[in-house]
Structure 1
């Protein structure tokens, strides 16, 4: 009974050889034919280089051919080139893949099996065992290929020569191993990560802080105090009131002037010229304006004073009505 074919990715893990993958999709017949043609061209270039003894160049051509259009023939020629180049573990795995792909009746099958049998005792094998002290999360790379799961602790075929093993773990320094294997040599490597990393941040020790005995800072605010708005309004009202008083003064002066003209033109109230009547009406109008302006201006000035005084929090202000010989008013008293 024939063995199941080894996946190419698994073969690469065993030997360190770059895996060859085929991502297949739905292509048009013309495109598929172009790919097959290109693969045949690469295969032919590989045969020509192989016939000249340039197995390194031939290997590159056969690998490109297999990537374009994977065929057992390209795989078999890859194995032959790698055997000639001394990559005996890679060749061994390729021969095994080939024999798993073709039937035993294939005229190339027997030759591939003989080559496998001849290579098997020559293939170096490396077992990597993870040290018991290795923390969880430890990873192992051999020649930049991850070694994990069942492959840890297994005798894996590797090509002769130098190999680098890198072991890493969270919070630990990286540790590297270098090992050189000859044909047929078997080695066991106990791998573990380095010491605890000095760059790993450690949480600061817990400390107990005594309750503060000083008073907490007083919250400050850049917003203006409530009284500042009241004082601003007071200044505005006071300004409008002053303007009203000024208007009242001007209107009053005009009233007196018009009254003098009326007395000159109308010495007898029953006998007055038309011009005198008009001046009299104008005098009455100015008099009314003067009265209203004085009253409104005085009220606004008083309200403005109240707002300005009460808007200052550092003083105490008292108000009281007062009766004067000429009228009534509002008396304000401030205490500093």
Structure 2
């Protein structure tokens, strides 16, 4: 009890409650019960504190009991009167369903059907109301009660939608035609595209090499005159040849690469419709023409 009182003074109501419960379980006298009730009040457990106060007042008076016990009974009576004015009430009514089907719960505790509509004592603070009824939609409510408040709450339940047990057969709807039902990309387009990309990559590489050769000539051979001490005829010819073939290959491969990529794009974009009913092979026969023509949509 001493430990609990020190904790309560320090603001540790939870710790004090645990100590007072232990002391009251051991002694079960008015003084231990009064401390327990005061800790419950400090935690907002007004309903529990009221029950503890009634328990204290109901304890039998022993012969020659200490004066502290009588003082605790008197204090418990005053506390009970004060709590009676503070404890809020909930008045729950359920509409829309027969009473025999209703199952109502407040904070998980069932409410007897006979008690529906009657005030129900609860602690101040938030509470959850759940109302169920066979064949009806479950309803939930969140309310917050204040001290001395009597809160009327009406919960109306509605019938649950009926689910048909009949088996319905759905006829598949015709698939919407694809906007791009085209033939696969031809193999030559893939080959042309790959070759074109390779050509462009090689063109970039030779362009870099040409730039390096040009920078070397401008640095070592200004005005096309190389220092004979460092460049003999063969080295000069090799450097100029590098200049020429790197430039030529860069341009040639670049043009070929662009052509290959363009051809591949044409093969992708202009490939025929895969399911074109208007496509047909038309024979061409005439005095000056012999052959066939393919007609369709590209």
Using the size of structure 2 for normalisation, the TM-score is 0.46
Which has more radius of gyration? 1
